[in-house]
Structure 1
Amino acid sequence: MATYQIGVLNGDGIGPEIVQATVEVIAAAAEFAGTTTFDFVSLPMGWEGIEKHGEPIPAITKEKLLECHGWIMGPHDSSAYPPEQKEKRNPSGELRHTFDLYANIRPSKTMPGIKSVVGEADLVIFRENTEGFYPDRNMYAGLGEYMITPDIAVVNGVFTRKAAERIAHAAFRMAMQRKRKVTIVHKANVIRLGYGLFLDTCREVARQYPEVQVDDYHIDAMAAHLVRRAKDFDVIVTTNMFGDILSDLAGELVGSLGLAPSINTNDRQAMAQAAHGSAPDIAGKNIANPVGEMLSMVMLLDWLASRHQDQELHRIARLVEQSIMTTIEEGICTRDLGGDATTTEFTAAIIKRIGSGGK
């Protein structure tokens, strides 16, 4: 029986509610399968980290994460942190930077029982996670933005061949397991050097995957194409900011950003993290939707299964995924999806279906 150590970072706002709901569901699935155990290790993050250690991501958390097979991260409310903390990277950016989690993988897929505004769609966005126009992540030290005068702000965008190559390879490897189609999204017609380097490097990588069909779009055109014909896309690879924007758009188009999962990985470590925010306005009310976080953990299980050649993890992931889908299809869901179930009621319904094999 294999045991996997999973770091648990509850986060802020609705984070503790949806992360704990996810832990309960995964634990129930592991118990049902009877072949795998998870050692969940709670670590301070966000307000908990600030109150106990003076940092949103204290050193002890980073040290313990190195010992974990993977970890699940709740959303953070960094906009509400004390002024001295706002000057630093937010918890998500800090972990992505510290562990060089270069690939943010965000699928968007229509679900039974959830209304989609674009019909059927099943795509996955590979977002480069370490540079571009996100100044908290693209510098070795310091932040890449400056106030030249009180009325002039300058932001540096960083584009490297190394970063483009590795995110492109990750996207093309995924495409080989899917429909063998990759779409590159950029703005090389205007930001010719930065996005030109990204586009050219992705095309160079594409030549190593001759079985994969490749096309590319400018970001503004791509946003329109997603709205009009999301079903035509399979794997999308793009830069940090564009990937952030497009994945939020795609999540809403197929049903709700509250359903949108993601993982962040560097090929050796991975972090499950829902794409949505901390929703402090509904925190503690037991009405938050945990699906995005749960499906992020499903992605982490699949990632661990591939990394450790453990088919039991794939089976546990499918059991959790099927139980979530069955529950939603039967009309049991939280208020944001048109239902009346509380977070705990929804979680209990999923666990009940896990106990019957996902049916």
Structure 2
Amino acid sequence: MMKVLLLPGDGIGPEISRVVADVIACLNNKLDLGIELKEKDAGFKALESHGTTFPADVANEAETSDGIILGPSDSAAYPPPEQGGINLSAAFRRKFDLFANIRPAKSWAGIKSNAPSMDMIVVRENTEGFYADRNMFTGSGEFMPTPDLALAVRKISRDGSRRIGQVAAKIASERPRQKITIITKSNVLKLSDGLFRDECIEAAKKYSGLEVDEIHVDAAASLFVRTPDNFDVVVTSNMFGDILSNLANELSGGLGLGGSLNAGHNKAVAQASHGSAPDIADKNIANPSALLLSTGMLFDWLAERNDSNALKEAARLIRSSMEQVFSQSDNLTVDLNGSLGTKEFGMQLKKKIEEL
């Protein structure tokens, strides 16, 4: 038995999480996966009932779960931490040292895209860089010495750079193009980005035949738009990766298709790349694709750790069924210029899974 924790989150989270739960149930029946799906409240619903967006029972359940599926959270609207407003993404990344954020950006037949043959994976370092909520052992990475001066610390460590380079190199070695691009601003940030670049290059040496190059982040942003097909696996630091992965998702079809996995050595959290979209909540028009693709990535991660062909097949079925659904224009959700509602899209997907 494998235990997966589902946290629906805020806004459209409960709607798209219901589709994910239904798809997992379908795969459980088809493949006898043995997944026990446990659902608990986090976010605003938990704040109302427990006084915190991240209750202790959720943290305890996460500890004993094999994997976690996190719905979108409206963290920008949460109260301060001292009033219970805990950023769920940051909390999980710190608690489980989820240092790798893996963000595919792939175009799909049947979906309008600015880059029709795009197939890129952005590997983003997830625990260091400029992000003040996660780059310190204690306290914040930004502060105000005076009312008129704000400072932020950028953390780049040798170990952190090496391990994200190892993840990216492994992914690149398993793909046909065998190419990895390191994105930095090492011409200006010579010490920190120089260290990041050098450790990623060192990590890539483990895999003979990998093509390795470095591009500065400003040039990379323009080349993502001009020649996205030239990229295969990209590795970069936290803030650069946050920005570039969203750009890549929009080019490939939109954030509604943006799957994402936050992974460490011992735990992984599937999380869509988009937000909670409270303006369209409870209207049955949200696209569940990103959270479904993220769930497929979690299954791949679990399959490798547990040597499970069934989980590997479940991940493949999620992608294959979505590919078939996307290929028919009358099966698209509203954000993709279609007419299907959230529930109806889920029904089409389950039908395809059962047919495959």
- Which TM class, normalised by the smaller chain length? over 0.9
Q: Shift of residue 84 of structure 1? A: 4.6
Q: Structure 2: how far apart are the matches of 1:194 and 1:320?
A: 39
Mapped contact 1:136–1:144 kept (Cα < 8 A): yes
Ranges in structure 2 where 5+ consecutive residues have no aligned partner: none
- CA deviations on 1:24-46 (whole Å, 9 max, x unpaired) are 1121122122x212211112211
Q: Shift of residue 20 of structure 1? A: 1.4
Correspondence for 1:123: 120
Matched, 1:97 2:111: no
- CA deviations on 1:326-345 (whole Å, 9 max, x unpaired) are 11211211110001111011
Q: Structure 2: how far apart are the matches of 1:239 and 1:113?
A: 33
Q: Secondary structure at the match of 1:227?
A: helix
Q: Secondary structure at the match of 1:253?
A: helix
Matched, 1:245 2:243: yes
Q: Structure 1: how far apart are the matches of 2:114 and 2:3?
A: 39
Mapped contact 2:53–2:85 kept (Cα < 8 A): no
Give matches, 1:92-171, under 5 Å: 92-171=89-168
Mapped contact 2:47–2:85 kept (Cα < 8 A): no
Mapped contact 2:51–2:84 kept (Cα < 8 A): no
Mapped contact 1:55–1:85 kept (Cα < 8 A): no
Percent identity reads: 45
Q: Secondary structure at the match of 2:161?
A: helix
Q: Structure 2: how far apart are the matches of 1:91 and 1:253?
A: 27
Mapped contact 2:129–2:135 kept (Cα < 8 A): yes
Q: Structure 2: how far apart are the matches of 1:91 and 1:316?
A: 27
The 10-residue stretch of structure 1 (348-357 or 120-129) with the greater mean CA deviation from structure 2? 348-357
Q: Shift of residue 210 of structure 1? A: 2.9
Q: Structure 2: how far apart are the matches of 1:84 and 1:266?
A: 25
Alpha carbons of 1:238 and 1:63: their partners in 2 closer, same or farther (altered >3 Å)?
Answer: same
Correspondence for 1:236: 234
64, 72, 79: which one aligns with 1:82: 79
Alpha carbons of 1:87 and 1:193: their partners in 2 closer, same or farther (altered >3 Å)?
Answer: farther
Q: Structure 2: how far apart are the matches of 1:191 and 1:215?
A: 18
Q: Shift of residue 248 of structure 1? A: 0.2
158, 173, 178: which one aligns with 1:176: 173
Correspondence for 2:355: 356
Mapped contact 1:79–1:86 kept (Cα < 8 A): no
The 10-residue stretch of structure 1 (24-33 or 262-271) with the greater mean CA deviation from structure 2? 24-33
- CA deviations on 1:98-117 (whole Å, 9 max, x unpaired) are 11000000001111111110
Give matches, 1:221-232, under 5 Å: 221-232=219-230
Q: Partner letter of residue 78 of structure 1? A: S
Q: Shift of residue 226 of structure 1? A: 0.8
Matched, 1:42 2:39: yes
Mapped contact 2:102–2:124 kept (Cα < 8 A): yes
Q: Structure 1: how far apart are the matches of 2:127 and 2:316?
A: 30
Matched, 1:304 2:302: yes
51, 56, 59: which one aligns with 2:53: 56
The 10-residue stretch of structure 1 (58-67 or 202-211) with the greater mean CA deviation from structure 2? 202-211
Q: Structure 1: how far apart are the matches of 2:218 and 2:52?
A: 38
RMSD: 1.4
Q: Structure 1: how far apart are the matches of 2:291 and 2:268?
A: 14
Q: Structure 2: how far apart are the matches of 1:87 and 1:181?
A: 44
Q: Partner letter of residue 146 of structure 2? A: T
Correspondence for 1:217: 215
Matched, 1:285 2:283: yes
Q: Structure 2: how far apart are the matches of 1:166 and 1:57?
A: 28
**TM-score after normalising by structure 1:** 0.95
Matched, 1:343 2:348: no
**TM-score after normalising by structure 2:** 0.96
Q: Structure 2: how far apart are the matches of 1:60 and 1:236?
A: 37
Mapped contact 1:26–1:320 kept (Cα < 8 A): no
Q: Partner letter of residue 106 of structure 1? A: R
Q: Structure 2: how far apart are the matches of 1:87 and 1:224?
A: 40
- CA deviations on 1:269-324 (whole Å, 9 max, x unpaired) are 11100111111110111110000000000111111111100111111111222111
Alpha carbons of 1:85 and 1:231: their partners in 2 closer, same or farther (altered >3 Å)?
Answer: farther
- CA deviations on 1:243-263 (whole Å, 9 max, x unpaired) are 111100000001111100011
Alpha carbons of 1:173 and 1:46: their partners in 2 closer, same or farther (altered >3 Å)?
Answer: same
Q: Structure 1: how far apart are the matches of 2:84 and 2:196?
A: 29
Q: Secondary structure at the match of 2:16?
A: helix
Correspondence for 2:327: 329
Q: Structure 2: how far apart are the matches of 1:85 and 1:79?
A: 15
